[in-house]
Amino acid sequence: MSQSRAEPFEKLPGIAGFSMSGQRAIVTGGSKGLGLAMAQGLASCGASVMIASRHVEQASAAAAAIADHFNVPTLAASVDVTKEEDCRKMVDLASERWGGVDILINSAGINIRGPIESLSVDQFHQVMETNVTGTWLATRAAVGLMKANGYGRIIQIASTLGMVGLAGRTPYASSKGAIVQMTRTLALELAEHGITCNAICPGPFLTEMNLPIADSEDTRKFLIGAVAMGRWGRLEEIQGAAIYLASRSASFTTGSLLVVDGGWTAR
């Protein structure tokens, strides 16, 4: 049973507010990259974690490794977030096995790069469908259970490119700008139900998505010239943001953008 209502927050001072024992989390896109790192972070705090991914073998392996390392219940689900039925089944599985959902991290996303005239309309639609529609569908599927419990933590994965521009990224930047506004709107819509909605805006992390450009001269110049820390983010460096926003300690934080970008947007 969830402990979301078990104790008033004022009786959980300090570090105790970050315990997620009894909390039930879904992480879409959780089989690798930032999604996996955030799933591991929640599990380290005691949360039960479902890894949802189109790649069910990877999801199963990730879930098994998390269960073994952190000794928490885990589930794996084959989910294409662009499909309404998949999102419904994902939440139904959490409800059947765990009785509800307390935390949702929408980390599933793709990136297609290039100058606008080199990209097809289909490519633009593909990015928007996964990053925006997929986030919306997964959130819509989960909010009913959260409302019933009077508690929820929704974390959207936006990007610094939802805040600033970068040439050659029109599909991705457009999608992440939409996520920023979706986050703010949902925060207003869901606040009365005890549900918070916030976004993490990662900067340059060396994920599989970024491997194609990792060793280019332009990328090296960008990291040195635009990122104050002059390097790629490490996957574990996203965990603190996710743990905070997923915790009971974030009870008065909603509609916020938590930027984790090595100082990129500080310039």
Query: What is the per-residue pLDDT for 1?
Result: 41
Tell me the sheet residues that pair with 157: 200
Fold (CATH) for 14-262: Rossmann fold (3.40.50)
What pTM was estimated for this model as a whole? Answer: 0.92
pLDDT value, residue 210: 64
Residue type, 145: L
pLDDT tens, residue by residue, 144-165: 999 999 999 999 999 999 999 9
Give the pLDDT of residue 3: 45
Rounded Cα–Cα distance for residues 194 and 55 (Å): 33
CA nearest to 169, candidates 125, 129, 124, 126: 124
Nearest to 47 by CA among 68, 28, 29, 67: 67
What's the sign of the alpha-carbon dihedral 151, 255, 258, 129?
Answer: positive
103-106 β-sheet, strand order: 74-78, 48-53, 24-28, 103-106, 152-157, 195-202, 257-260
Structure confidence by residue, pLDDT tens digits, 201-250:
999 887 776 666 666 777 777 776 788 888 889 999 999 999 999 999 99
Q: Quote the pLDDT of residue 205.
A: 85
Q: For tokens 């793709």, what's the residue?
A: 110
pLDDT confidence of residue 93: 98
Residues above pLDDT 70, as percent of the chain: 93
**What are phi and psi for residue 260, nearest 5 degrees?**
-130, 85
CA–CA distance, 207 with 229 (Å, rounded to integer): 17
Q: What is the pLDDT of residue 2?
A: 45
The SS3 assignment for 241 reads helix
Nearest to 79 by CA among 52, 59, 101, 106: 52
pLDDT at position 213 is 67
Between 205 and 180, where is the model more confident? Answer: 180
Active-site residue set: 172
> What confidence category does residue 4 fall into, taking pLDDT thresholds of 50, 70 and 90?
very low
Mean pLDDT, rounded, of the chain: 92
Residue 7 has pLDDT above 60, yes or no: no
Beta strands in 15-111 (DSSP E): 24-28, 48-53, 74-78, 103-106
Q: What's the rounded Cα separation, in Å, for the pair 201 and 259?
A: 5
What type of residue sits at position 108?
Answer: A
C-alpha distances out from residue 9 to 1, 182, 248, Å: 18, 27, 7
Calpha distance 150→148 (Å, rounded): 6
Is the pLDDT at 5 greater than 60? The verdict is no
Per-residue pLDDT, 10: 62
| 3-state SS assignment for residue 41 | helix
Domain residue limits, the chain: 14-262
- Could you tell me if 110 and 135 are in contact, meaning their C-beta atoms sit under 8 angstroms apart? no
Render pLDDT for 102-130 as a digit per residue (tens, 0 to 9): 999 999 999 999 999 999 999 999 999 99
Residue 88 has pLDDT above 90, yes or no: yes
Q: How far apart are CA 258 and CA 65, in angstroms?
A: 28
For residue 194, pLDDT over 60 is answered with: yes
Residues β-bridged to residue 195 = 152
Res 9 pLDDT > 70: no
SS3 65: helix
Task: Please name the residue that has the structure tokens 């549900």.
Answer: 195
Task: Report percent pLDDT > 90 for the chain.
Answer: 81
Average pLDDT over residues 248-265: 96
